[in-house]
């Protein structure tokens, strides 16, 4: 059996998306910057995709700028706040993706910003009162807080954070890479100035994403060259990627309630069966609390000696793909688990689910873990 439970790293391409992409690989191949028929038809398709995304998010098409993915979008948002808006103080969390944290570390080292971290508890919950204090006394700021953590699944109240930023005159950037396509975002009501998204997290193609930049907020040009994306992002557009991104988001919104319920049931099934069949288990962060975590992520800790301390390899040999955390941090201890004080010497596994997973796959995975536990206990 081959089981894929690493959907927070990337998701399987939806067949409807593949069908939508194919003509833009074979038939509609013009350069959208060319002023002839082949170019115009492709340019029209790109703008149609932009309008589709904007409509789903209740935004304006001119607020959507296509990128190579979430990392570029996060970098662009942060650098724009600092270099186009003169922000000198950035407030964030220790749980952000490295696309955010490493960018901020570079800016801090260069002396361009003061960097502050919001206090948290040992489950990764943010101290909103501390955020308010940080916003009160350090001048104009950028707050960068992800909607949901990619490792422990914690959902952050970005509606509340956005209102707080608005009251204090701060810019707000949220990495929504893990929640785009899994939750509805109404950007006309959400007080955020920048959000980042990546298609391959919701069954779209890899190598494409977008940044939402609220109308009236300036973007710094990260890539220089041609005049693509209204002179904001140089380089020939990833045409089939953009078409696939829009189609994937359209499908996600169409089926979002059904898939939410289905995947949450799979996650609940795994939680229950792990508790019943496997001993010495602990769920990290809020990942086992339904209303406080992504329904797609469950982070589990088992003892260090479980499978000789190499549980992921054991699962791989059983045909089960999972991870110890972010795919972007392979080979190093999770900075997220360190930040909440979790025992990083344990076998920490992130199981992440999608609409393509089944109850039988959950049962098989727990069965293999339970069999290993019984063998160790014998």
DSSP 8-state code for residue 293 = B
pLDDT of residue 265: 98
Residues marked as catalytic? 328
pLDDT of residue 325: 62
Integer angstrom CA distances of residue 130 from 149, 158, 160, 161, 195 = 20, 15, 14, 12, 23
Beta strands 347-352 and 297-302, pairing class: antiparallel
The rounded distance, in Å, linking the Cα atoms of 257 and 262 is 9
Read out DSSP for 142-200?
A: EEE--SB-TTT-BBP-HHHHHHHHHHHT-EEEEE-TTTBTTB---TTTS--SEEEEEGG
Mean pLDDT of the region 359-367: 97
Is the pLDDT assigned to residue 183 strictly greater than 90? yes
Q: Are 301 and 280 in contact (CB under 8 A)?
A: no
In this structure, what token pair is assigned to residue 137? Answer: 């006394």
Strand order in the sheet with 282-283: 282-283, 297-302, 347-352
Per the rule left: phi > 0, alpha: psi between -120 and 50, beta: everything else, 377 is alpha
Is the pLDDT assigned to residue 332 strictly greater than 70? no
Is the pLDDT assigned to residue 281 strictly greater than 70? yes
Q: Are 312 and 322 in contact (CB under 8 A)?
A: yes
Integer angstrom CA distances of residue 331 from 95, 145, 250, 326, 327 = 18, 25, 35, 10, 9
pLDDT of residue 327: 53
Over residues 45-93, the pLDDT tens digits come to 999 999 999 999 999 999 999 999 999 999 999 999 999 999 999 999 9
Q: Which H or E run includes 366?
A: helix 359-377
pLDDT of residue 302: 85
Over residues 229-239, the pLDDT tens digits come to 988 999 999 99
Mean pLDDT of the region 278-296: 93
Predicted TM-score of the model (pTM)? 0.94
Over residues 309-329, the pLDDT tens digits come to 688 889 999 999 999 865 554
Domains and CATH numbers, the chain: 3-10+257-377 (3.90.1150.10), 15-251 (3.40.640.10)
Is the pLDDT assigned to residue 275 strictly greater than 80? yes
- Calculate the average pLDDT of the chain: 93
pLDDT of residue 280: 79
Over residues 119-163, the pLDDT tens digits come to 999 999 999 999 999 999 877 899 999 999 999 999 999 999 999
pLDDT of residue 1: 82
> CB 169: neighbour CB atoms within 10 A?
10
Integer angstrom CA distances of residue 150 from 6, 132, 264, 287 = 11, 25, 16, 10
Is the pLDDT assigned to residue 308 strictly greater than 80? no
Residues facing residue 155 across a β-bridge: 148
Over residues 214-226, the pLDDT tens digits come to 999 999 988 899 9
């Amino acid at each position: 059996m081959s089981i894929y439970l690493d959907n927070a790293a990337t998701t399987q391409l939806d067949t409807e998306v593949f069908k939508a992409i194919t003509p833009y690989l074979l038939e509609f191949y013009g350069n959208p910057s060319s002023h002839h028929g082949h170019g115009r038809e492709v340019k029209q398709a790109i703008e149609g995709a932009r309008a589709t995304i904007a409509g789903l998010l209740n935004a304006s098409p001119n607020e959507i700028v296509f990128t190579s993915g979430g990392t570029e979008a996060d970098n662009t948002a942060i650098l724009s706040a600092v270099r186009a808006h003169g922000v000198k103080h950035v407030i964030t969390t220790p749980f952000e993706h490295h696309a955010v944290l490493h960018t901020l570390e570079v800016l801090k080292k260069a002396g361009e910003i003061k960097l502050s971290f919001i206090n948290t508890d040992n489950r990764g919950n943010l101290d909103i009162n501390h955020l308010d204090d940080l916003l009160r006394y350090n001048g104009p700021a950028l707050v960068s807080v992800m909607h949901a953590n990619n490792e422990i699944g914690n959902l952050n109240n970005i509606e509340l954070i956005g209102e707080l930023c608005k009251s204090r005159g701060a810019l707000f950037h949220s990495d929504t890479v893990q929640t785009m396509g899994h939750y509805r975002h109404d950007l006309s009501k959400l007080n955020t100035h920048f959000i980042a998204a990546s298609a391959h997290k919701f069954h779209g193609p890899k190598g494409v994403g977008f940044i939402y930049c609220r109308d009236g907020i300036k973007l710094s040009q990260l890539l220089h060259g041609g005049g693509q994306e209204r002179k904001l992002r140089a380089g020939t557009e990833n045409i089939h990627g953009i078409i696939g991104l829009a189609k994937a988001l359209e499908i996600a919104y169409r089926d979002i309630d059904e898939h939410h319920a289905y995947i949450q049931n799979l996650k609940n099934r795994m939680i229950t069966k792990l508790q019943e069949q496997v001993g010495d288990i602990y769920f990290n962060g809020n990942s086992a609390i339904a209303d406080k975590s992504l329904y797609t992520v469950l982070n589990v800790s088992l003892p260090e000696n479980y499978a000789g301390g190499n549980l992921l390899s054991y699962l791989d040999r059983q045909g089960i793909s999972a991870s110890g955390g972010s795919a972007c941090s392979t080979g190093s201890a999770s900075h997220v688990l360190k930040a909440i004080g979790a025992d990083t010497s344990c076998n920490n596994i992130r199981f992440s689910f999608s609409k393509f997973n089944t109850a039988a796959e959950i049962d098989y995975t727990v069965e293999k873990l339970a069999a290993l536990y019984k063998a160790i206990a014998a």
